[in-house]
Amino acid sequence: MRLIIARCSVDYVGRLDAHLPTAKRLIMVKADGSVSIHADDRAYKPLNWMTPPCTLREEAVLDIEGTDTGEQLWIVENPKGEQLRISLEEVLHETSVELGEDPGLVKDGVEAHLQELLAEHITALGDGFSLVRREYPTAIGPVDLLARDATGRTVAVEVKRRGGIDGVEQLSRYVELLNRDDLLAPVSGVFAAQEIKPQARTLAEDRGFRCLVLDYDELRGIESNELRLF
């Protein structure tokens, strides 16, 4: 993990051009090759980023007379030719740390079992659904379930015991990343949980995700002990 705090400007050149004017920012270069740029007021979501596979090239910036200005230009490029061009005007701090292999997120027993049960009974998502894979790998972590609906469209499913805003944000990142893969796009999202908080439901629906409340006992094939009229 390489961390750089620098005064920089950033230009994204690709399907959509974007520009970040000069400001102090955190630049994160991970062992998997990904590069992301962060501000101090946007929680964990980066301002811009490039996912692997990509290459990073560092160049000195010269003035019109060919003299080194002390500034640097980083060119991060993916196989599609899209570029993240980072102009570092002043490096305030830089450090590199070897984090080693991460054991990954360990879900609690109920949440892990919910994911397993939903994978076994994927039609709980709707008629015609089929499972592609559990724990579908991505550069930012595995998607709980990747499925296809009755029309063959790709669906990413995030499974939680209690669904909060963090879970919706997690699903958002997965869907955004998966939609960059031409073989999977367009990708929609389903936020599935035993309990979904009102704020999380509002955010999920605003982002076009479907919310699904899971009945743990029903998925296990056990009748609920609650009294029912029908």
- Ordered by start, the domain boundaries in the chain are 2-96, 109-219
Strand partners, 19: 11
End-to-end CA distance of the chain: 57
Q: What pLDDT, on the 0 to 100 scale, is given for residue 104?
A: 61
> Domain 109-219 class?
alpha beta
Q: How far is CA 143 from CA 47, 68, 71, 146, in A?
A: 22, 45, 39, 7
Assess contact for 107 and 115: CB atoms under 8 A: yes
* CA angle 98–88–24, rounded 5-degree value: 85
Interatomic CA distance for residues 129 and 156, integer angstroms: 12
Please tell me if the domain spanning 2-96 has the same topology as the one spanning 109-219: no
Pick the CATH number of 2-96 from 2.70.180.20, 3.30.420.10, 2.130.10.10, 2.30.29.30: 2.70.180.20
Q: What pLDDT, on the 0 to 100 scale, is given for residue 107?
A: 54
Residue type, 113: H
Would you give per-residue pLDDT tens digits along the chain (230 residues)? 999 999 999 999 987 788 999 999 999 999 888 999 999 887 778 999 998 889 999 999 888 888 888 899 999 999 989 999 999 999 999 999 988 877 665 555 578 888 999 999 999 999 999 999 999 999 888 999 999 999 999 999 999 999 999 999 999 999 999 999 999 999 999 999 999 999 999 999 999 999 999 988 888 775 444 444 44
- Burial class from Cβ neighbours inside 10 Å (0-12, 13-18, 19+) for residue 143 reads buried
Residue type, 159: V
